[in-house]
Structure 1
Amino acid sequence: MPKRILQGVVVSDKNEKTVVVRVERRFAHPLLQKTVRRSKKYKAHDENNQCKVGDVVSIQECAPISKDKCWTVINVQA
């Protein structure tokens, strides 16, 4: 089964080797047919501490690294 890849914005880089990424999804409301935005935060592993707040990054699902962290950063787009 392929690993999921999501794209989002880094909202926190205060932790060592960890960044918090906000991933936004957009969908049509089932009844009103209006576009709705929902976001969720994921903790992702950043081995070299290269991500900064505001960077657009791609994250990939992986085996659990800690209690909350099961994603890794695979691409940084500044």
Structure 2
Amino acid sequence: MSEEAKKNRRLTGRVVSNAMDKTITLRVERRVKHPLYGKFIRRSTKIHAHDEANECNPGDLVTVEQCRPLSKTKSWRVMDILERVG
């Protein structure tokens, strides 16, 4: 993967937690085919993302973009909220 493609990587996921200040935790799910049986399995990854305005709530569907490391665990930035809950 080239440097330009890595920098602008975008993912979509559900917000799991917003307990931290200006940070959200989201779960990104993907479907992977089982190597032997062929059944599709859901696999998930947890990501910390920067939410400057503290506007995301648990359950929201958001798009994040990869950026420079902002802390030890945070290297993603919230781009937009696709769907709000509640």
Whether TM-score is above 0.5 comes out as yes
1:59, distance to aligned residue in structure 2 (A):
0.6
Structure 1 length-normalised TM? 0.96
Other-structure match for 2:42: 37
SS at 2:77 equivalent? strand
Q: Which amino acid aligns with 1:24?
A: E
- Structure 2 unmatched ranges of 5 or more: none
The number of aligned residues is 78
Q: Distance in 2 between matches of 1:52 and 1:23?
A: 16
- Kindly indicate whether residue 55 of structure 2 is the aligned counterpart of residue 62 of structure 1: no
Percentage of identical aligned residues: 47
Displacement of 1:31? 1.2
Over the aligned positions, Cα root-mean-square deviation in angstroms equals: 0.7
Give the TM-score, by structure 2 length.
0.88
1:28 aligns with 2:33: yes
Aligned residue identity for 2:24: V
Unaligned runs of 5+ in 1: none
CA displacement at 1:28 relative to structure 2: 1.0
Partner SS for 2:64: strand
Cα distance in 2, alignment partners of residues 28 and 67 from structure 1: 32
Secondary structure at 1:70 match in 2: strand
Residue 9 (1) aligns with residue 14 (2)? yes
In the alignment, does 2:56 pair up with 1:51? yes
Distance 2:65 2:17 in 1: 18
